[in-house]
A = this chain, B = another copy of it.
Amino acid sequence: SGKKVLIVYAHQEPKSFNGSLLKIAVEELTKQGCSVTVSDLYAMQFEPRATRNDIVGRLHNPEAFNYGVETWEAYKRGGLSKDLVEEQKKVQEADLLIFQFPLFWFNMPAILKGWMDRVLVQGFAYDLSKAYDGGLLQDKLSLFSFTTGGTKEKYAIRGDIRYLLWPMQHGIMHFCGVKVLEPHICYAPEKVSEEKRKEMLTAWSQRLKTLWKEEPIDCSPEWYFK
């Protein structure tokens, strides 16, 4: 209780299974006394493209646009666009980041990838030699909660699902110094019975009840590829 949670949510339809998972998380965490903020990316029409528009005013080097350099410089002088500053404020205040989305192509949807690309800029999320355990977003937890199109059996045939978590959990969160909780995966909600779907929703609700007692995973290559 008293904890702050940011849910970054990437589904177009409130009536979807992802929408239900979001609703449950907001309800359960609020009930616990947490303060919950939702970034509903499609509803916000969040911009996923990393462009010159993310920098207010003059560029550091207008001769050759370098997104990483420009956003780093803009961050330092307080010159990032308003939508990014707002998201960074939410991240800064949060104890826990939950990413709720349907898996698209072994990965997060582009709109959520755009959130990562644009919000987690150098200076804010990491810096020169400040990465991984030295990343700038220390003392925060993250949790990737997603649905799949394919069944658990289909995924298992082609290599462990943990393989696809590496770029998201390790490459992004761990890099920024954010600790990672076990992912929450709902396999193929569109292909199972209504009863099974209800069980999945209950399981998410149950997990959230004891979430704050969970230990982060050991975000090493061994966890993913053992």
Contacts and interface: CB of A to CB of B under 8 A. Distances in A.
Contacts of A124: none
A64 B13 contact: yes
A29 to B, nearest CB: 25
Given A15-B63, A120-B105, A48 B50 contact: no
A16 interface: yes
Given A15-B63, A50-B111, A105-B120, 5 more contacts: A13-B65, A107-B171, A110-B117, A158-B170, A164-B166
Given A164-B171, A167-B164, A224-B163, A66 B16 contact: yes
Interface in A46-93: 48-52, 63-68
Interface of A: 12-13, 15-16, 42, 45, 48-52, 63-68, 104-111, 113-114, 116-118, 120, 132, 149, 158-159, 163-164, 166-168, 170-172, 175, 190, 221, 224-225
Contacts of A52: 12
